[in-house]
Amino acid sequence: MRLKKKSGYHHGDLRRTLLDVSVATIDKHGVDALNLRELATRAGVSSGAPYHHFADRAALLAAIAEEGFGYLEAAMIRERDAAPDDATSRLAALGRAYVSFATAHRGHFRVMFRGDLIGGDSPELVQAQPRVFQLLWDAVEDCQRSQVAPAGDLQPLVLTAWSAVHGLATLWIDGALPYKNLNPERLAPIVSNLISHMFAALAHNPASRTRSSRRQSTVRR
């Protein structure tokens, strides 16, 4: 990953090269290992050149995050539309796409939720995340309409589904899972299985209304 410059002085597509080299570095060594001077050297330019394409390091990372959300959204839509045409299958497909994206694009994923690094100023980035979230929200709502998710407040359901896939992706990427035998291929069916049955099972369990307003009447005043 050291895309060379073509002519002498002008690089040709330095912005693209910087993004690619950065993502590869972050994938291999983490965000903190990304060094703008070394990055410039690897891209074949001087250390000041990147600043003509990105205001600062945070802006570079924000661009990576934005790109990542774009890829993620596309992958989720693709998998969802390729899934069988029932609400549960489509939600499961979204979950699988989420985890698959994280494991396959570690470099992007490692940046996408680091609000502390990228300082959520970029307007494109601010809009990218809610779009992904909306996909999930709509799918859960479909499950509810199809009565394969419990009635009631949608928020806890969406939160549960998102947390499960996000947690799995995060733990995997951080290398926190104490399983040696766990590769990304084995992750997908776990997600599938989880999502497919979780809401369906909950829907038939009368105790699982999700409104949090189950205060006991004795406590009420």
Partner DNA sequence: GATCAATCTAAGCATTGCTTAGTTTTGCGA
Partner DNA sequence: TCGCAAAACTAAGCAATGCTTAGATTGATC
Task: Please give the residue ranges that form the binding site for DNA (CB under 7 A).
Answer: 5, 7-12, 14, 34-38, 40, 44-49, 51-53, 55-58
11 vs 106, beta carbon nearer DNA: 11
Site string for a second copy, 60-89 (x = CB under 8 A): ------------------------------
- Residue 65 CA: distances (Å) to CA of 10, 111, 136, 168, 173: 26, 6, 19, 19, 16
Q: Which of these segments, 3-11, 17-25, 64-72, 163-171, binds a second copy (CB under 8 A)? A: 163-171
Q: Is 131 in the site for a second copy (CB under 8 A)?
A: no
Distance CA 13, CA 52 (A): 12
- Of a second copy, DNA, none, which one does residue 115 interact with (CB within 5 to 8 Å by kind)? a second copy
The three-state DSSP-derived secondary structure of the chain is CCCCCCCCCCCCCHHHHHHHHHHHHHHHHCHHHCCHHHHHHHHCCCCCHHHHCCCCHHHHHHHHHHHHHHHHHHHHHHHHHHCCCCHHHHHHHHHHHHHHHHHHCHHHHHHHCCHHHHHHHCHHHHHHHHHHHHHHHHHHHHHHHCCCCCCCCCHHHHHHHHHHHHHHHHHHHCCCCCCCCCCHHHHHHHHHHHHHHHHHHHHCCHHHCCCCCCCCCCCCC
Q: Is 30 in the site for a second copy (CB under 8 A)?
A: yes
42 vs 80, beta carbon nearer DNA: 42
Q: Is 207 in the site for a second copy (CB under 8 A)?
A: yes
**Window 164-203: residues binding a second copy (CB under 8 A):** 164-171, 174-179, 182, 186, 189-190, 193-194, 197-198, 200-202
Which of 12, 48, 130, 184: binder of a second copy (CB under 8 A)? 130
- Of a second copy, DNA, none, which one does residue 184 interact with (CB within 5 to 8 Å by kind)? none
List contacts with a second copy (CB under 8 A).
Answer: 29-33, 113-117, 129-130, 133, 155-156, 159-160, 162-171, 174-179, 182, 186, 189-190, 193-194, 197-198, 200-202, 204-205, 207-208, 210, 212
